[in-house]
């Protein structure tokens, strides 16, 4: 399936989410690189730039912003348009394949190269090839800022050694506690290679293709998430859910079609899912592979008169239920996360507490999308 990169970017708006934390680190590296740049123009390129929240977020308040020129390369025209809207006239936004050297013609050699959200979406072989090709894009002393998940098997040590092999000196490699991302900044100390058009650096295939995890065919959610990130996503996604719920407050009780739940009914459902999951993970701690009782999704909506409940109360209960589940999970040790029970979805099978945590993040995101079309 095609990954929804628009939805992916929305996690940047969830303060505290791992992606939000990654953005903070990347911005800090960009700020440092700009501050350290010698006087004069600073040429920047960004591969797979998305909305370019990293660079443009820094330029909004940096003393060297007026010196920055460059090119952002992004394949998705809508994301590129978002970037263009916030970019100065000195920065052009190109809708093109960032894996091909042609996208950078006329915009290199660069003093700063951004490769954020790229290496986790291309094969190992392409990652090595892309790093080896960077001297074709870099001016002497150029800085390259890159990101890569460290989810097992952690590939970042390999990436760092490929940078070293290609004459890059590591300036920093950072992460954040309980997250899986890594952010690196390297300086090019080698001899630049002449630019050549029509060179393929990489094929962007997407992490969903690279991983063997399952994907929700409806919303695109991918069941791969570091254990340490699960409770952070539970908190930030529950906050994002109620934010979307607030946006549709006027229609909270309106069903878009007779058979489709109203936002309020979805919010009640999500609150109850959080509560039920909390009970299940606790049950799994005390019983040997218990068979979880079905939650009775549709019956609850009728018996508990979901659509007659008070939206403000439901909103608060949902956040409290998310926090309750997240705190309970935070307190578990390794053995606790690995305990399991028989889960009925999509068909009865043993599921670990860890899987239940990831699946609950999926519930939050999936149903946020369900109420998103009403605004």
Shortest distance, CB of residue 228 to ligand SAM, whole angstroms? 20
Residues 33-62, interacting with ligand SAM (CB under 6 A) = 48-50, 53-54
* Cis-peptide, bond into residue 255, ω within 30° of zero: no
- Euclidean distance between CA atoms 233 and 44, whole angstroms: 32
Kindly list the strands in the beta sheet with 181-188, ordered across the sheet, starting from the edge strand earlier in the chain: 91-95, 68-74, 42-47, 110-115, 138-149, 181-188, 168-174
User: Which of 48, 68 has the CB closer to ligand SAM?
Assistant: 48
Shortest distance, CB of residue 76 to ligand SAM, whole angstroms? 4
| Segments in the chain forming alpha helices (H) | 5-10, 18-36, 53-59, 77-86, 124-133, 156-165, 207-210, 227-247, 263-286, 297-303, 311-330, 334-338, 353-370
- Euclidean distance between CA atoms 286 and 20, whole angstroms: 35
User: Which of 105, 304 has the CB closer to ligand SAM?
Assistant: 105
When asked if residue 75 is in the footprint of ligand SAM (CB under 6 A), the reply is yes
Query: Residues 277, 230: contact at Cβ < 8 Å?
Result: no
CA dist list (Å): 74 to 19, 48, 290: 19, 5, 48
User: Which of 49, 284 has the CB closer to ligand SAM?
Assistant: 49
Shortest distance, CB of residue 161 to ligand SAM, whole angstroms? 23
Could you give the string, one character per residue 270-299, with x where binding to ligand SAM holds by CB under 6 A and - elsewhere?
Answer: ------------------------------
User: Which of 96, 374 has the CB closer to ligand SAM?
Assistant: 96
Residues 111-140, interacting with ligand SAM (CB under 6 A) = 116-117
- Euclidean distance between CA atoms 325 and 319, whole angstroms: 10
When asked if residue 181 is in the footprint of ligand SAM (CB under 6 A), the reply is no
Query: Which residues neighbour 122 within 8 Å (Cβ) at sequence distance 6 or greater?
Result: 99, 130, 202, 203, 204, 205, 210
User: Which of 116, 353 has the CB closer to ligand SAM?
Assistant: 116
**How many residues lie near ligand SAM (CB under 6 A)?**
17
Could you give the string, one character per residue 84-113, with x where binding to ligand SAM holds by CB under 6 A and - elsewhere?
Answer: -------------xxx--------------
CA dist list (Å): 159 to 110, 131, 178, 184: 21, 8, 21, 10
User: Which of 9, 255 has the CB closer to ligand SAM?
Assistant: 9
**β-bridge partners, 149:** 181
Could you give the string, one character per residue 187-226, with x where binding to ligand SAM holds by CB under 6 A and - elsewhere?
Answer: -----------------x----------------------
- Euclidean distance between CA atoms 251 and 264, whole angstroms: 9
Residues 292-351, interacting with ligand SAM (CB under 6 A) = none
- Considering only 73, 107, 242, 353, the residue that binds ligand SAM (CB under 6 A) is 73
User: Which of 44, 73 has the CB closer to ligand SAM?
Assistant: 73
User: Which of 76, 323 has the CB closer to ligand SAM?
Assistant: 76
When asked if residue 155 is in the footprint of ligand SAM (CB under 6 A), the reply is no
Contact footprint for ligand SAM (CB under 6 A): 5, 48-50, 53-54, 73-76, 79, 97-99, 116-117, 204
């Amino acid at each position: 399936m095609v990954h929804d990169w628009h939805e992916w970017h929305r996690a940047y708006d969830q303060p505290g989410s791992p992606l939000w934390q990654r953005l903070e680190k990347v911005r800090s590296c960009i700020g440092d690189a700009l501050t350290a740049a010698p006087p004069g123009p600073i040429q920047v390129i960004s591969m797979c730039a998305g909305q370019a929240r990293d660079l443009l977020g820094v330029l909004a308040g940096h003393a060297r912003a007026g010196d920055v020129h460059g090119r952002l390369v992004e394949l998705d025209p809508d994301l590129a348009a978002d970037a263009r809207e916030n970019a100065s006239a000195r920065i052009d936004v190109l809708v093109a394949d960032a894996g091909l050297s042609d996208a950078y013609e006329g915009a290199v050699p660069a003093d700063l190269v951004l490769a954020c959200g790229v290496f986790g979406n291309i094969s190992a072989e392409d990652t090595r090839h892309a790093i080896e090709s960077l001297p074709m894009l870099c001016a002497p002393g150029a800085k390259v800022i890159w990101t890569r998940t460290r989810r097992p098997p952690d590939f970042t040590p390999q990436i760092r050694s490929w940078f070293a092999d290609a004459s890059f000196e590591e300036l920093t490699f950072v992460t954040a506690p309980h997250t899986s991302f890594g952010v690196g900044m390297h300086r090019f100390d080698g001899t630049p290679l002449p630019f050549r058009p029509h060179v393929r650096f990489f094929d962007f295939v997407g992490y969903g293709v690279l991983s063997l995890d399952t994907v929700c065919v409806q919303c695109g959610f991918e069941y791969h998430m570091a254990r340490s990130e699960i409770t952070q996503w539970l908190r930030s996604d529950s906050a994002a859910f109620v934010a979307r719920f607030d946006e549709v407050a006027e229609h909270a009780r309106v069903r878009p079609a007779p058979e489709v739940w109203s936002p309020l009914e979805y919010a009640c459902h999500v609150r109850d899912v959080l509560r039920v999951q909390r009970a299940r993970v606790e049950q799994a701690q005390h019983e040997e592979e218990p068979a979880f009782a079905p939650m009775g999704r549709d019956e609850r909506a009728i018996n508990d008169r979901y659509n007659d409940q008070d939206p403000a109360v439901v909103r608060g209960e949902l956040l409290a239920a998310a926090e309750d589940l997240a705190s309970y999970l935070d307190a578990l040790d390794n053995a606790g996360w690995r305990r399991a029970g028989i889960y009925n979805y999509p068909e009865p099978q043993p599921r670990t507490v860890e899987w239940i945590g990831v699946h609950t993040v999926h519930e939050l995101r999936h149903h946020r999308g369900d109420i998103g079309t009403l605004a």
